Structures are given as structure tokens and as C-alpha cells.
């Protein structure tokens, strides 16, 4: 959901931005037990985009944050990040895992197709939901500009040194670019 849709439904304590994506999730134990103890542990909740390496392009790198609270034993979390509507022509996912950040052990990424799946051998919590946005909001030109902007920010954060991280394959001309990883900026 975009911030534009939410703006009429919030009080003045919230500052919403129309060019952000917001997602609300409720996480509870399958047996119905209270989530208060799990609340002390971390959960990773993030949108992911087909074709973009999920360990690099997720809530942490897309200027994301979240707020959460346990109510009646259920963990409620609202996440926000840069708008992903420009990627509406791709398969979009919402990933949830019992890890602090994206885990390559919890999710698999197919380098050829760009599809992301749950790793069935993972013994913790790893759930992947597919969701759709209005495809008319897709804008491949703006999407590419956004990706380049992120990569420039990562490069400036890390100086001119060789970053030594995975690369992104540009679908248009099949060239690769290096970029740096970023840390999640948590706001509670």
C-alpha cells in the first residue's frame, strides 16, 4: 500500500510519505501461545523483487524501517520502505523469517529466473507471500533510475574501494555493476 492511500487514515502523530510502501503484518504462533517471548527475538519482514538479489535489495537497502508491538499475544509490525510500485510489472514478494536480516539460509534465489523461494530445508520460520500491485504503476525507466541511485549511495557510503560484493545484472544490456551492502536503519 502506498503512503498516498494511508494519508487520510492516520492521525497527526504519523508523518506519511506518498512515495513510500507500507505493509502491515500480524505474526502469531501456530499454537496460539503468546508472542511476547518471540518479540524479544528478531523477525525479518521485507518486500523483495524478482530479478534483484534479495540479500542486497530489501528493506535494509531501500531506506526501510518498522514499528512493532505485541497486542493480546500477537506481534503486529508496520514496515515502510521506498516505493516499489515502479516494479509492479515484476513478481513481488513479502518475506518473513526469524532472522534479524535477510538470510540466504532461509530463502533461495534462482540466478537464472530471478525467482525467490522458501528454503524447505530451513528449520526456522521462513514464509514468502507473493503479492501484486497495479501493473499500470510499473515504470521501468524510473525503476532503473532508482536502482542506480541506490548503487550511487552505496558507493559514496563505501568510498571508491573495491566493495567485493555480489553484482546486479542489468536486464537491458546484460552488464553487471558492483554495489555495496547497507545496514538496516531501525526506527521504533
Cell numbers of 52, please?
Answer: 534483484
What is the pLDDT at residue 42? 81
> pLDDT by residue (tens digit) across 17-76?
678 999 999 999 889 889 887 666 689 999 999 999 999 999 999 999 999 999 999 999
Q: What is the pTM of this model?
A: 0.75
pLDDT score, position 178: 35
pLDDT at site 173: 37
Q: How confident is the model at residue 15 (pLDDT cuts 50, 70, 90)?
A: low
User: For 24, phi and psi rounded to 5 degrees?
Assistant: -110, 135
159 vs 7, 8, 63, 132, 162, CA distance in Å? 37, 41, 19, 37, 9
CA pair distance 119, 147, nearest whole angstrom: 27
pLDDT attached to residue 18: 72
How many CA atoms does the CB half-sphere of 147 hold within 13 Å? Answer: 23
**pLDDT value for 99:** 93
The predicted structure's pLDDT at residue 85: 96
Q: How far apart are CA 140 and CA 122, in angstroms?
A: 34
Could you write out the DSSP letters of every residue in 2-34? BHHHHGGGS-TT----TTEEEEEEEE--TT---
What's the rounded mean pLDDT across residues 2-7? 44
Amino acid at each position: 500500500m502506498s503512503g498516498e492511500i494511508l494519508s487520510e487514515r492516520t492521525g497527526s502523530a504519523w508523518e506519511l510519505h506518498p512515495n513510500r510502501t507500507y505493509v502491515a503484518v500480524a505474526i502469531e504462533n501456530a499454537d496460539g501461545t503468546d508472542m511476547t517471548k518471540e518479540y524479544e527475538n528478531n523477525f525479518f519482514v521485507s518486500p523483495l523483487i524478482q530479478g534483484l538479489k534479495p540479500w542486497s535489495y530489501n528493506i535494509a537497502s531501500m531506506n526501510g524501517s518498522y514499528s512493532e508491538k505485541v497486542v493480546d499475544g500477537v506481534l503486529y509490525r508496520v514496515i515502510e520502505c521506498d516505493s516499489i510500485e515502479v516494479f509492479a510489472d515484476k513478481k513481488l514478494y513479502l518475506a518473513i523469517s526469524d532472522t534479524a536480516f535477510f538470510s540466504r539460509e532461509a530463502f533461495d534465489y534462482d540466478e537464472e529466473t530471478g525467482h525467490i523461494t522458501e528454503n524447505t530445508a530451513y528449520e526456522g520460520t521462513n514464509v514468502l507471500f507473493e503479492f501484486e500491485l497495479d501493473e499500470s504503476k510499473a515504470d521501468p525507466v524510473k525503476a532503473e533510475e532508482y536502482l542506480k541511485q541506490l548503487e550511487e549511495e552505496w558507493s559514496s557510503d563505501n568510498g571508491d574501494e573495491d566493495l567485493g560484493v555480489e553484482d546486479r545484472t542489468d536486464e537491458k544490456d546484460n552488464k553487471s555493476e558492483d554495489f555495496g551492502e547497507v545496514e538496516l536503519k531501525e526506527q521504533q
